[in-house]
Amino acid sequence: MNITEGQALCMLFSMECTEENISLLTKKLESYEELLLCYETHPLNPVLVTKSRVFSLPYTFKRYMIESPTANHATNEVKLSSGMHVVQFINAAFCANEVPNNPAYTQEDITSKDIFTSILPYTDIFDEKTVLGFSQWCVKNKPEFITLPVTRKRKQCQCQNPAAIPNLAKNIVMFLPNHQNYIKQLKEEGYQIVGYARKSPGEQPNRLANLTAMVNKLKERSLVNKCFISRVSNASDELGERDQRDTSTSNIPGTHGNTQDMIGHIASSNKKICLVVIDYAGFSTNQQNIYDFVHNHKTLEKIIIDQIPYYNQTTCFTRSQMLDDISVLSVFECRMKTLQRSKA
């Protein structure tokens, strides 16, 4: 979902999103000469930050677009190259859920052909497909709009303003490069980026191959300096109890030890640590244990959850966020479905 600066201002000051309130709050923001409106991990959480800090950390603090770009400025210079990107594009451009107080969306009755026609300029995936082929692709890849009821071959959904579509496509395509720029920025600030991967117990003949794939993805996507693994552990197991007996990681190239080795490394490090894992369950589903782990390891400053393969997003938890409000960790306990981290 695209959020304009005006909409974000209304959210920040808890006011209804109207043209009058946007105009009022825009003038108020302008009076704060040294402050800019931006966000860190999600555009639905706006914050005010000093200009100097925003300009020095451009990949930490992201700016909102001032207004929806006009159709005259629409460009198709970006292409959605993967099915996951296309699904995300469809879900945002043709929203199956209500989008309250967002002038960028209007309720419309649309057909599959309407969606197919709208997406063609932004991807080559459907170059050889008809509307029927697109519909079959949707059944397999499950964008959210297919769950909507059909009335006279049309579905009622929240459609994004066509003028905002190019910006949406660009944001999707640029997410991974922006994530990697953020990681590079953390390294410049003195952080060490540590990756962690684990596999659950069970008869899994490809266990080593799956772990190797996860390690490689952590290195490729998040540029980790070191990577630790747990060959056999449950997501609910306490971190300090993992790998007490299983100490072998020699068969996994590019790793630096197991969970116990990771704990020792974090405890002895004199650098700030940013821990990166693939999906919430790749780390732990034990909210209290995560809180205790962060509390007991003073150098652990950030935890980044990589969900790029599934949702094209990452979530960054700072030390202060986690220790000031344990409820922010509740998302770790909400494992909605099993995600294949090794295929991420």
pLDDT at position 73 is: 44
pLDDT at position 163 is: 78
pLDDT at position 76 is: 56
Report pLDDT digits (tens) over 197-208: 999 887 767 888
Bigger pLDDT: 278 vs 45: 278
**CA 189 to CA 203: how far, in whole Å?**
43
Assess whether 187 and 146 both reside in one domain.
no
Instruction: Please state the φ and ψ torsions of residue 235, each to the nearest 5 degrees.
Output: -65, -25
Report pLDDT digits (tens) over 90-137: 998 998 887 666 677 888 999 999 999 999 999 999 999 999 999 999
Q: Is residue 106 part of a domain?
A: yes
Q: Is residue 31 part of a domain?
A: yes
DSSP symbols for 128-180 = T--HHHHHHHHHHH--GGGGS-EETTEEEEEEEPGGGHHHHHHHHHTHHHHHH
**pLDDT cut 90: percent of the chain above it:** 59
What's the rounded mean pLDDT across residues 261-290? 96
**CA 257 to CA 152: how far, in whole Å?**
59
Give the list of residues 6+ apart from residue 250 with CB closer than 8 angstroms, or none: none
> End of a domain among 155, 172, 189?
172
Instruction: Please state the φ and ψ torsions of residue 38, each to the nearest 5 degrees.
Output: -155, -175
Q: Could you tell me the two tokens for 5?
A: 């600066």
Assess whether 258 and 329 both reside in one domain.
yes
Q: Is residue 70 part of a domain?
A: no
DSSP tag of 200? -
Q: Is residue 336 part of a domain?
A: yes
**CA 124 to CA 169: how far, in whole Å?**
13
Q: What is the CA 133 to chain-centroid distance, rounded?
A: 29
pLDDT at 344 over 60: no
Assess whether 244 and 319 both reside in one domain.
yes
Bigger pLDDT: 98 vs 73: 98
Radius of gyration of the chain (CA): 22
Report pLDDT digits (tens) over 236-251: 999 999 998 866 666 7
User: Using an 8 Å Cβ cutoff, are 150 and 238 in contact?
Assistant: no
DSSP symbols for 229-257 = EESS--TTS-GGGTTSS----TTSTT---
**Would you give the end-to-end CA distance of the chain in angstroms?**
23
Assess whether 289 and 235 both reside in one domain.
yes
Q: Could you tell me the two tokens for 40?
A: 């860190």
Q: What residue type is assigned to position 25 of the chain?
A: L
Report pLDDT digits (tens) over 4-30: 888 889 999 999 888 899 999 999 999
Residue with token string 């992201």: 62
What's the rounded mean pLDDT across residues 155-160? 89
For residue 11, give the nearest of 49, 38, 30, 32 by alpha carbon: 38
pLDDT at position 342 is: 54
Domain that holds residue 23: 5-63
